[in-house]
A and B are shown apart, each in its own frame.
Chain A
Amino acid sequence: MTDDKDVLRDVWFGRIPTCFTLYQDEITEREAEPYYLLLPRISYLTLVTDKVKKHFQKVMRQEEVSEIWFEYEGTPLKWHYPIGLLFDLHASNTALPWSITVHFKNFPEKDLLHCHSKDVIEAHFMACIKEADALKHKSQVINEMQKKDHKQLWMGLQNDKFEQFWAINRKLMEYPPEDNGFRYIPFRIYQATTERPFIQKLFRPIASGGQLHTLGDLLKDVCPSAVAPEEMWLSNLRIDLR
């Protein structure tokens, strides 16, 4: 993992320039200026938009404000997906900055999970980490950690602290020397065109013959429709490896 540190840092520090605009039907006391922000790809919308919320609440009356939610070109944005995933799924072919519309009314109950506090985000994030470790290590590594280690993972993400996060996460990315990899690879394949939110299946890193599986092998196995047989041409696929 140490030789990959540059890649890890690039992934961690990826940013998307975003322009937040208040929905036109929201009731304001004066004109609301758009708000610009660099969003971390690996974080979650509701975790990094406190300033956005404050900015727009300044021009609104308190009774007009309930739970904030975000939308892009009519599609409610699922805050529980990483920001980078949302951008790649919905807006990767459009010019920057990414234009997101901010709402404070008419929460779309059928589309979005509620997010009343940071606890909800933490619970979701930790659930993802735990499920990934169930696949990688039968939950042994995550269960052997103390609560303070779990907290450090979360605080590292929340406060954008790469070293703090990876001090713990590196343990989740190791495997015993006698094994050649994790038990199963934790992955999800997202496609904007399907009702099913993602494809997730059990997939071993090593083939029965002992050779290492490649990403192409995985895609051919679980999502053959997205892969042209002659060449590995990835269309409309967003892969989230945790």
Chain B
Amino acid sequence: MLEGTSGDHPVQPQPRQGHLEQMTQGRVQIPCSMAGEEDFVLEEKRFKQHCEEFVKHSQQIGDGWEWRTSKDLGDGYLSKTHFQVRNRHIAQDLREKTNDNIEETLLAHVEESLDDSQVAGVCTTEEVIRYEYHVLYSSSYQVPVLYFRACFLDGRPLTLEEIWGSVHACYQDRLQEGPWDTITQQEHPILGQPFFVLHPCRTNEFISTVLTGPWKHNRHKNYIILWLSTVGPVVGLSVPLSYAKVAPEQNSSTDSAESSSASSLPGLTFQYFAYLPYFAMRICAEREVLGHC
């Protein structure tokens, strides 16, 4: 179950800007909302096609994604499992509480774990967490939706509070404005088990921005790659840059790199834009280590 976009205008955020806002100012011109122009609608058939291409590329680079078909109705979803090491430590200058019950700030780091020597004067324990990510199609909103669950190796699942706490620091402002609009626990529509869901709030807004107007020619690009590279990092899922080479409209070939170099400049700009949040995440992660975030 998913939420549509809120009809109200949200309360203006606090004066402190997140890194993402600072970085995008003056760099990438994002056109104003394209409301009124045609909406780009992702139909289920197209969703499946893009997932197929996505999995094909994943297999080429060993990224671990697979497509699972449900036995009864023939629909399906993308699935990936990976393990992450999480350091639990008390950050001296980052004592933000995402919830009154949380006493420590938990920081999750994409892929690499922190080098203990870089975090001065704290006690660290490493924990391995198993993450399972699913991408399903929502026929109600006609967008893909990211479901995930996480547990420790002994089987203990992470709580919603622990998940909220592990959302990257760059996104904490947005999360705290409306946690119930961002990540909640829901029933998986095919498996019937509890999963966490990243709400597709504004998925259509930001996707439409990149696929209409001056970037309309990008409509043949892989929707899943565009979408997942933007939302995935929010919950610890990275999409390697290699996916930018995928060119959906062409026959699969091992020389996909060549076909993308023939893209026009706006195409490359689009690909840069798609990965902007990814870059923002990486830079934020590095700055955290140095204690600036």
Contact = CB atoms under 8 A, between A and B. Distances in A.
Interface of A: 78, 80, 109-114, 119-120, 123-124, 126-128, 130-131, 133-135, 139, 142-147, 186, 194-202
B191 A195 contact: yes
B2 A78 contact: no
Interface string B175-187: 0000010001111
Given A114-B160, A200-B189, A130 B139 contact: no
A155 to B, nearest CB: 17
Contacts of A142: 4, 7
A131 B140 contact: yes
Contact of A143 (B6, B73, B192): B6
Ranked nearest first, the 4 interchain pairs of A and B with the lowest CB-CB distance are A143-B7, A139-B4, A197-B192, A123-B180
Interface string B145-188: 00000000000010110000000000000000000100011110
Interface of B: 1-8, 70, 72-73, 139-141, 157, 159-160, 180, 184-187, 189-194
B194 A112 contact: yes
Contact of A145 (B3, B7, B72, B180): B7
A147 B67 CA distance: 39
B4 A133 contact: yes
Contacts of A139: 4-5
A143 B5 contact: yes
A132 to B, nearest CB: 8
A231 B159 CA distance: 48
B2 A131 contact: yes
Nearest to A201: B139
Contact of A124 (B1, B7, B73, B160): B1
B3 A78 contact: no
A198 B5 CA distance: 25
A126 B8 CA distance: 15
A96 B262 CA distance: 72
Nearest to A133: B4
A133 B192 CA distance: 23
Contacts of A134: 2, 4, 140-141
Contacts of B140: 131, 134-135, 186, 200
B185 A113 contact: yes
Contacts, number: 79
Of A114, A123, A143, which is in contact with the most chain B CB atoms at under 10 Å from its CB? A123
Nearest to B193: A110
A147 B190 contact: no
Contacts of A78: 187
Given A112-B194, A143-B7, A147-B8, 5 more contacts: A114-B185, A114-B194, A127-B186, A196-B73, A198-B189
Contacts of B141: 131, 134
Given A113-B186, A119-B180, A131 B191 contact: no
Nearest to A139: B4
A202 B44 CA distance: 11
A126 B186 CA distance: 13
Contacts of B8: 146-147
Contacts of A202: 139
A78 to B, nearest CB: 7
Contacts of A133: 4
Contacts of A195: 191-192
Contact of A131 (B4, B7, B187): B4
Nearest to B185: A113
Contacts of A197: 187, 189, 192
Contacts of B159: 114
B2 A127 contact: yes
A201 to B, nearest CB: 7
A113 B73 contact: no
A139 B7 CA distance: 9
Contacts of A127: 1-3, 184, 186
A113 B5 CA distance: 24
Contacts of A196: 70, 72-73, 189-190, 192
